[in-house]
Chain A
Amino acid sequence: KQEVTQIPAALSVPEGENLVLNCSFTDSAIYNLQWFRQDPGKGLTSLLLIQSSQREQTSGRLNASLDKSSGRSTLYIAASQPGDSATYLCAVFQGAQKLVFGQGTRLTINP
């Protein structure tokens, strides 16, 4: 059974720092990996999708990497801002229909 783990569970950093969020999964036979952002009381917003044949994706200040063989993905946030404060969720597609989520990392950026 696929298990997705995100470390750390919570992170608080001062504004302007670069930071890395970690995601690990136990079964490397995945289709894709997707990173989401969730603000309190809201739905999930897709940040980045990494297809299984790719090693990384970039969008603005965000960069996500994928190493299927080791079962790991990282989300790198450059020059963090208070508006980046949210919960970040990692999810893997186990087949085209089954999406397995990690528990998330709650990120706080302090002005």
Chain B
Amino acid sequence: DVKVTQSSRYLVKRTGEKVFLECVQDMDHENMFWYRQDPGLGLRLIYFSYDVKMKEKGDIPEGYSVSREKKERFSLILESASTNQTSMYLCASSLWSSNTEAFFGQGTRLTVV
């Protein structure tokens, strides 16, 4: 069974903290994605990566960075957390193929206080 696993279901962090969200996939997928989901705004792409050490900005990269040192792991970093980054964060992976299909993790609900 395909698996995308996010390190935490719930996180509470303080304003100004550096926050790491981790995502691991076991399907040998080239592509990995980080989205945030907010009521009324839907899913918005923050960053994606198509290979180790490669990354591309999505629609809302400001305030975030990412790291992909190994193919199976994609980390989202909030350099200095702010209250407007309180959200549901979703990680996904997919093959680089015309028959691609996306698989999502269980989500991380981040609250910044």
Residues of A near any B CB (own CB < 8 A): 31-32, 34, 36, 41-46, 49, 51-52, 89, 91, 93, 96-99, 101-104
Contact = CB atoms under 8 A, between A and B. Distances in A.
Contacts of A104: 42
Given A97-B48, A103-B42, A32 B99 contact: yes
A101 B101 contact: no
B33 interface: yes
How many residues of B sit at the interface, in one of the four size bands? 20 to 34
Interface in B76-113: 88, 90, 92, 94-107, 109
A41 B107 contact: yes
Contacts of B98: 31-32, 51-52, 96
B48 A46 contact: no
A93 B42 contact: no
A51 B71 CA distance: 25
Contacts of B90: 43-44
Contact of B104 (A32, A43, A52): A43
B2 to A, nearest CB: 9
Contacts, number: 60
Closest 10 CB pairs of A and B: A44-B104, A43-B107, A43-B106, A101-B43, A43-B104, A49-B101, A103-B42, A96-B100, A96-B96, A43-B105
A97 B92 CA distance: 11
A52 to B, nearest CB: 8
Contacts of B50: 97
